Amino acid sequence: MFDNLSDKLDNAFHVLKGHGQITEINVAETLKEVRRALVDADVNYKIAKEFTNKVKEKALGQDVLTALKPGQMLVKLVKDELTQLMGGEAAGVNLSGNPSVILMSGLQGSGKTTFSAKLANYLKNKKTKKPLLVACDVYRPAAINQLHVVGEQVGVEVFSDEGNQDPVAISKAAIAHAKENGHNVVIIDTAGRLAIDEAMMTEIANIHSAIQPQETLFVVDSMTGQDAVNTAKTFNERLNFDGVILTKLDGDTRGGAAISIKSVVNKPIKFIGTGEKMDAMDVFYPSRMADRILGMGDVVSLVERAQEQYDEEEARKLQKKIAKNKFGFDDFLNQLQQIKKMGSMKDLLGMIPGAGKMLKDVDIDDDAFKGIEAIIHSMTPEERSNPKIINSSRKKRIGKGSGTSVQEVNQLLKQFNQMGKMMKMMQGGGGRQMMNMMKGMK
Ligand SMILES: Nc1nc2c(ncn2[C@@H]2O[C@H](COP(=O)(O)OP(=O)(O)OP(=O)(O)O)[C@@H](O)[C@H]2O)c(=O)[nH]1
């Protein structure tokens, strides 16, 4: 995410390396590079200039006798200012009302339909919410179909009325249906167009005034940079929306939209889309995003993702097994599944400070576990629970069955062995230390 921008900002701060003090000259030089990095990332020039002016003012007003080195201090000031520029605090979704109605708007292909289903899934997982998805694209039957497909994927009911050409009537019928069937959230997916046109704007404005949603969200593709910001402006003038959803942040996006959209429309970014899968979304936290932009990783989100998959009961069982030396390949397979559920490997590793930069040009294959899984699946249940019995003829059979070599089987067995030792060690106090460290970070 934003690799280019992170690199350039990193280079900008190098100007201050070796300087013992902040001076007007070295600050100006550094901030000139920061400004250039922002503009290259497709941040509007005026916003970039205002940004660096603010940082400069703060930097020169600082007491030079600070505990931080000039470079560190400037990074901190840039981080704070970036956080402010992106909205300061995270903004929630208004879920008052029964049902609470959420209207999705945006251009065609921005990711509206995908995000509607992601949001439904996210709310459904909150247990107290029972969402209903509504297909309001009256022009393309394929769009209605698409919503049914993603709705099914996340296990959320989809309301549609194919052939009905009146989106206001469909929305009203959907809300009535929701009331009758105990849905407390209604998410309305509307039609998108390739370019902003008057008819489309009037249509969505009509839906908006007829149903008075609790929340109107504008979905925009972050890859479109300044265009994203301009489209947001036009939609906001007509709909006065409540928040922005920035999609496709997993792609090769430069970051301009994420950084400047809030200051242009004065509406917060509420969520981000980070992939095509239904769980590839995150609440937008300006401060964590600033950390990522500055190459500082996002450990808090990483820990949260791990916690989402954490099952206390399972963890207790696992601990017992480790203590009794009974951790087998079935448990290992289970753990792999949990990691996979946390997101794509590149995305996860990118949250580790410094790793994003190192991995920028590395292609991490999410199928990397496939070979390991194949080997484990080729073991008998007995071999899985007691790997010690795997002798050389068994290794040959496992290699053959999994389409791998004996060396690969050996390698996995060795790593598994080492892992077992490590886990035992962590149980002897090291694990507790690690947990405390994680709690401290949160
Ligand atoms: N990589 C990536 N792809 C995404 C993301 N969100 C959506 N997409 C993809 O972008 C494409 C367009 O998404 P849709 O949800 O169909 O877009 P839409 O705005 O509903 O488009 P219309 O229904 O045609 O108006 C699809 O191929 C999605 O899988 C994301 O966060 N990351």
Q: What is the pLDDT of residues 212-226, one digit of tens each?
A: 999 999 999 988 878
Which atom of ligand 1 is nearest to 143's Cα? Answer: 23
346 lines ligand 1 (CB under 6 A): no
108 lines ligand 1 (CB under 6 A): yes
* Gap between the Cα atoms of 342 and 304, Å rounded: 10
List the residue whose alpha carbon is closest to atom 10 of ligand 1. Answer: 111
Whole-Å CA distances, 70 to 12, 13, 31, 36, 165: 13, 9, 13, 20, 62
116 lines ligand 1 (CB under 6 A): no
110 lines ligand 1 (CB under 6 A): yes
141 CA to centre of ligand 1 in angstroms: 16
User: How would you classify the pairing of strands 269-273 and 243-247?
Assistant: parallel
Q: What is the pLDDT of residues 22-44, one digit of tens each?
A: 777 888 888 998 998 888 888 88
Residue 83: partners with Cβ closer than 8 Å, 6 or more residues away: 286, 287, 289, 290
Q: How many residues does the chain have?
A: 442
| Mutate-to-test residue for ligand 1 from 105, 110, 114, 219, highest number of ligand atoms within 8 A of CB | 114
Span 245-249, average pLDDT: 92
pLDDT at residue 436 above 70?
no
132 CA to centre of ligand 1 in angstroms: 19
105 lines ligand 1 (CB under 6 A): no
* 113 assigned ligand-binding residue: yes
251 lines ligand 1 (CB under 6 A): yes
370 CA to centre of ligand 1 in angstroms: 27
382 lines ligand 1 (CB under 6 A): no
Helix axes 329-341, 312-323, angle to 10 degrees: 150
Residue 327 has phi, psi (to 5 degrees) of: -75, 115
Mean residue pLDDT across the chain: 82
145 lines ligand 1 (CB under 6 A): no
* Gap between the Cα atoms of 254 and 39, Å rounded: 10
328 lines ligand 1 (CB under 6 A): no
Q: What is the pLDDT of residues 317-344, one digit of tens each?
A: 777 777 777 788 888 888 777 777 777 7
Which atom of ligand 1 is nearest to 150's Cα? Answer: 15
* 247 assigned ligand-binding residue: yes
How many other CB atoms are there within 10 angstroms of residue 62's CB atom?
17
Grade residue 174 by pLDDT with cuts at 50, 70 and 90: very high
* 109 assigned ligand-binding residue: yes
Which atom of ligand 1 is nearest to 108's Cα? Answer: 25
Span 113-139, average pLDDT: 91
Q: What is the pLDDT of residues 421-434, one digit of tens each?
A: 777 666 655 445 44
Taking alpha carbons only, the member of 54, 44, 62, 120 closest to residue 83 is 54
Which atom of ligand 1 is nearest to 274's Cα? Answer: 31
301 lines ligand 1 (CB under 6 A): no
Query: Tell me, what's the ipTM?
Result: 0.96
Least confident of 230-234, 280-284, 303-307, 368-372: 303-307
273 CA to centre of ligand 1 in angstroms: 9
Instruction: Using alpha carbons only, give the angle 227, 225, 219 rounded to the nearest 5 degrees.
Output: 75
Burial (0-12, 13-18, 19+ Cβ within 10 Å), 14: exposed
248 CA to centre of ligand 1 in angstroms: 8
What one-letter code names the amino acid at 428?
A: G
